[in-house]
Amino acid sequence: MSYQPNMIMKLCRQVFALAIIFTATPSFASEELVRQEPDTVIFAMMSGKCSTLKVAGRDFACRAVAFFQTEEGRANFTIALDDPGDDSHIITFSGDNGRRPEANLYELPIDRMLLKTKDRPKADGLPVPAIESTAGLCKQVGNFVTLELSSISCTAVDRNGKKYELQYESDGAPMAVRRIKRMRVGSPAVSPFDDVK
């Protein structure tokens, strides 16, 4: 499968931009106190399109979709929105206790949404996310060993009844996965990329 050089460069720029956002942004911060985010242990960038992306009743397109997991086990599906009025508009479906009930399926219960916009307070020059408690689920389908993603679907509802939805389909390009090995205490969290070396 051949890719046009400008498409590859565009994907590389998106991967780089998201990697900076994920590694440099403090998360789970209150307005009064900013805590350091746990280190990311795995990062996966997907290539495809969002057929559905709804944020509290508003429809958006997406610029990029990525998965990352922290050393504490929290997993996140992060979407950079194509919002002409806000180039900092990013949402994250975040949860713990992900599982792989089948070889080609990863399910993540969602307990919070992280919402970043240009109007949020900043730490180190980047927006600190607003955190909304939610109930929901993300499902990632694909062959994780060969890095061939098929789709991601996420739904979550916050305590005020606002709904967040994602329907994402891969364009067939393999995922770009970066694993950072770290020593952990206790049993490791389940990742969709457990078999990836």
Give the pLDDT confidence score for residue 103 in this predicted structure: 87
Q: Residue 4: pLDDT above 60?
A: no
DSSP bridge partners of 189: none
Q: Are strands 130-143 and 148-158 parallel, antiparallel or unpaired?
A: antiparallel
Please compute the mean of the pLDDT values over residues 9-18 and round it to a whole number: 47
* 125 CB-near residues (< 8 Å, 6+ apart): none
Q: Which of 19-23, 61-65, 113-117 has the lowest mean pLDDT?
A: 19-23
- Average pLDDT in the chain: 80
Give the pLDDT confidence score for residue 111 in this predicted structure: 97
Task: Note whether 52 and 165 are within 8 A (CB).
Answer: yes
Predicted local distance difference test score (pLDDT) of residue 13: 47
Q: How far apart are CA 138 and CA 32, in angstroms?
A: 31
Amino acid 124: pLDDT? 85
For residue 140, the model assigns a pLDDT of: 95
DSSP assignment of the chain equals ----HHHHHHHHHHHHHHHHHHHH---S--SS-PPPPPPEEEEEEE-EEEEEEEETTEE-EEEEEEEEEETT--EEEEEEEE-TT-TT-EEEEEES--EEEETTEEEEEEEEEEEE-TTS-EETTEEPPEEEEEEEEEEEEEETTTTEEEEEEEEEEETT--EEEEEEEE-SPPPEEEE-----SSSPPP-TTTT--
Q: Which residues of 120-152 are buried (b: 16+ CB within 10 A; e: fewer)?
A: beeeeebbbbebbebebebebbbebeebebebb
- List beta partners, residue 133: 112
pTM value? Answer: 0.78
Amino acid making up residue 125? G
pLDDT of residue 37: 62
pLDDT above 80: residue 3: no
- 122-132 residue pLDDT tens: 888 888 999 99
With cut-offs at 50, 70 and 90, classify the pLDDT of residue 190: confident
pLDDT value for 188: 58
Report pLDDT digits (tens) over 69-112.
988 889 999 999 999 999 899 999 999 999 999 989 999 999 99
pLDDT of residue 26: 42
